[in-house]
Every structure is written in structure tokens, then in C-alpha cells.
């Protein structure tokens, strides 16, 4: 082996180490920036607050004497169905399912809230006569059988 071949080999190793070190530093910096970025945590806190507000509004409309069981983005259950929270035009859309007791079937619901968490629309699939009466008295509530 000549001196030129050895030096070329040495330069290749040094270049590989430098590239690997540079990529490692870039990945570490990216990971650090993701960890200290407060925006994802703030977004999650906003979404949790919206879902809690949606739960309380749903409880007001369904008005059960017992415990209302709710499946929503904070308490998902894929066996029952998909749930979501989604930012929409200046507000939020939240979906889920509820039932009054274990004998009741699950009722899907979709709620639209404005940016301040005020109800602008609630669509439920429920055959109870009480929900039908409530829908007749409140234009924000739509009940489907």
C-alpha cells in the first residue's frame, strides 16, 4: 500500500466521522427543540378544556338522574367507535358517544363550539321522547332517531 492510498483512506474516515458527528448534532438539536417547544402542550391543554366543556354541555342536554357514561377524546374506547376533536371555523368540533346506563345503547353525538366554548350546535342520535322535546325547544339541538 502506498502513502497516497493510506492518506486517502484516513481522509475518508475523518470525513465519515465528521458527517456522522454533524448528523448526530443535528438530530440532538431537533429533539431538544421538540422537547422544549411549549406549543404542543398548550394545544393539548386547549383541547382538553374544550372536551371538558363539551362534556358539561352534553350532561345539561341529556339530563339524567344517574351517571351518564361518555366516550370522548379524553376517554376513547375504540370498541364503541371513533371520537375526535377538530378545530373548525373559529371554534371546535367534538364527537363521541353517551349512554344513560348499562341497559341503554350508545348514542353518537357531534358538538360544534365557538372559540369561547359556547355551544353553537349539537347533533345526537337518540330515540328518547325527552330529547325530542328538548330539540323542539332549542334550535341548537338536533335529534335524529
The string of pLDDT tens digits covering residues 13-27 is: 889 999 999 999 999
pLDDT, residue 8, reads: 60
For residues 137 and 68, what is the distance between their CA atoms, to the nearest angstrom? 22
Number of other residues whose CB lies within 10 A of the CB of residue 125: 16
* In the predicted structure, residue 39 carries a pLDDT above the cut 70: yes
* In the predicted structure, residue 40 carries a pLDDT above the cut 90: no
* Cα diameter, the chain: 95
Identify the three-state secondary structure at position 140: coil
For 123, the enclosing helix (H) or strand (E) is strand 119-125
pLDDT, residue 3, reads: 46
C-alpha cell at 93: 368540533
Residues in the chain: 145
| 55-72 tens-digit pLDDT | 999 998 887 677 889 999
* In the predicted structure, residue 6 carries a pLDDT above the cut 80: no
Amino acid at each position: 500500500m502506498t502513502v497516497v492510498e493510506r492518506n486517502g483512506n484516513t481522509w475518508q474516515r475523518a470525513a465519515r466521522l465528521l458527517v456522522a458527528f454533524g448528523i448526530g448534532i443535528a438530530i440532538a438539536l431537533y429533539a431538544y427543540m421538540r422537547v422544549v417547544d411549549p406549543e404542543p402542550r398548550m394545544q393539548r391543554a386547549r383541547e382538553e378544556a374544550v372536551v371538558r366543556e363539551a362534556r358539561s354541555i352534553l350532561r345539561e342536554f341529556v339530563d339524567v338522574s344517574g351517571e351518564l357514561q361518555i366516550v370522548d377524546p379524553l376517554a376513547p374506547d375504540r370498541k364503541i367507535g371513533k371520537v375526535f376533536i377538530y378545530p373548525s371555523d373559529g371554534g371546535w368540533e367534538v364527537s363521541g358517544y353517551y349512554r344513560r346506563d348499562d341497559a341503554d345503547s350508545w348514542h353518537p353525538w357531534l358538538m360544534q363550539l365557538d372559540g369561547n366554548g359556547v355551544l353553537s350546535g349539537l347533533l345526537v342520535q337518540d330515540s328518547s321522547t325527552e330529547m325530542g322535546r328538548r330539540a323542539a325547544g332549542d334550535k341548537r339541538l338536533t335529534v335524529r332517531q
